[in-house]
Amino acid sequence: MEPVLEISGISKYFGNICAVEDLSFSVSKGQVYGILGPNGSGKTTTLAIAMGIIKSQRGKCVWFCQNTPADNSWKKNVGTLIEVPYFYPYLDLVDNLKIVAEIKQVPFGDIFRVLQVAGLYERRHSTYRTLSLGMQQRMAIASVMLGDPDVLVLDEPTNGLDPQGIADVREIILSEREKGKTIILASHILAEVERVCTHVAVLKNGRLLADGPVAQLLGRDETLVIGAKDNEKLMKALSMSEMINTSDFREDGIWISLKEGFTPEQLNRYLMEQGIALSKLEKKKKTLESQFLELVK
């Protein structure tokens, strides 16, 4: 698939502090790519390097297979929200977006489209100072969408929002994803990333721990919770089986993960052959949060 952004071996130091080290990943057209990590993991620095806001000491970023951040030709195809944009509090939404449209050299008519997408059209004549925090964030995203860019780059788009504000921003991202847009976002709100992203990269201390499709990261080692009348006998049978990767005795049952290629049905058949009838067999869906915590611990 056609790459939109290729990051190859970038490193950035602020004095003795390593913000990003030898980081590489690629974002393809149509992906919603989440960059995850705890505070200080290098998420914002990575986006700032990709957007040409700061320079890396090593490595390179390439947009659309040909343009580096130092070029300007690619920027019309990319809308970005890295720092909180400044809007004039005494101007209404339309007039504020007119200023952005002039900077971007975008027709004023597109202002009404982005206000509708952001759910702010009814407030278009309200001054910016009257907006709630969630509405201010939607206004910021509206400014990013001016000109209908092919790629959206969003740094912590739901940071500091209440549940309704988070839901509003999520709907905008999902709507743009349905249009085939490529979206690159940095976040530490893992549940939201799991809902909207197709691919993720997990960072810690500026280094890449894992990356790939969300489904692939969550698909490793299917987790089951099982139980029987005699759990000691069950544990002994599990220890003798070649199907079991890990097992852990807990209050609500025995938590196990199967080795690749084995299924719960095969396990159940094996236990029946050992004279053990399961009274409990539950599949536990691995969440992005659980996988993330395993990676960064």
Q: What is the pLDDT of residue 295?
A: 62
Say yes or no to pLDDT of 290 above 80.
no
Domain 223-296 sits in CATH at: 3.30.70.100
Q: Which tens digits make up the pLDDT trace of 22-59? A: 999 999 999 999 998 888 889 999 999 999 999 999 99
Selected residue with higher pLDDT from 216 and 203? 203
Residue 251, Cβ density class (10 Å: 0-12 exposed, 13-18 middle, ≥19 buried) = exposed
The pLDDT tens digits for 216-250 are 776 555 688 888 988 889 888 988 998 888 888 88
pLDDT at residue 294, rounded to an integer: 63
Res. 296 pLDDT band, cuts 50 70 90: low
Q: What percent of the chain has pLDDT over 70?
A: 94
The confidence band for 87, taking pLDDT boundaries of 50, 70 and 90, is very high
Tokens encoding 236: 């002994």
Distance separating alpha carbons of residues 107 and 55, to the nearest angstrom: 32
More confident of the two residues 108 and 290: 108
67: left (phi over 0), alpha (psi -120 to 50) or beta: beta
Which part of the chain has CATH 3.40.50.300?
3-218
pLDDT at 164: 84
94 CB-contact burial (10 Å; exposed 0-12 / middle 13-18 / buried 19+): middle
Q: Mind listing the pLDDT tens digit for each residue in 68-85?
A: 777 778 888 999 998 777
Higher pLDDT, 61 or 283: 61
Element (H, E) at 7: strand 3-14
What value does the CA radius of gyration of the chain take, rounded to a whole number of Å?
A: 24
| Residue 31, H or E segment | none
* Model pLDDT, residue 293: 64
Buried b (16+ CB within 10 A) or exposed e, 193-210: bbebbebbbbbbebebbb
What average pLDDT does range 277-285 have in this prediction?
83
For residues 142 and 214, the model is more confident at 142
> Which residue stretches of the chain are H helix?
43-50, 93-104, 110-117, 133-145, 163-178, 190-196, 214-218, 231-239, 264-273, 288-296
In whole angstroms, give the CA distance from residue 85 to residue 83: 6
Count of beta carbons in the 10 Å neighbourhood of residue 164: 10
Tens-digit pLDDT profile for residues 93-152: 999 999 999 999 999 999 999 999 999 999 999 999 999 988 998 999 999 999 999 999
What are the start and end residues of each CATH 3.30.70.100 domain in the chain? 223-296
Query: How many other CB atoms sit within 10 Å of the CB of residue 115?
Result: 21
3-218: which CATH topology? Rossmann fold (3.40.50)
Would you state the pLDDT for residue 98?
A: 96
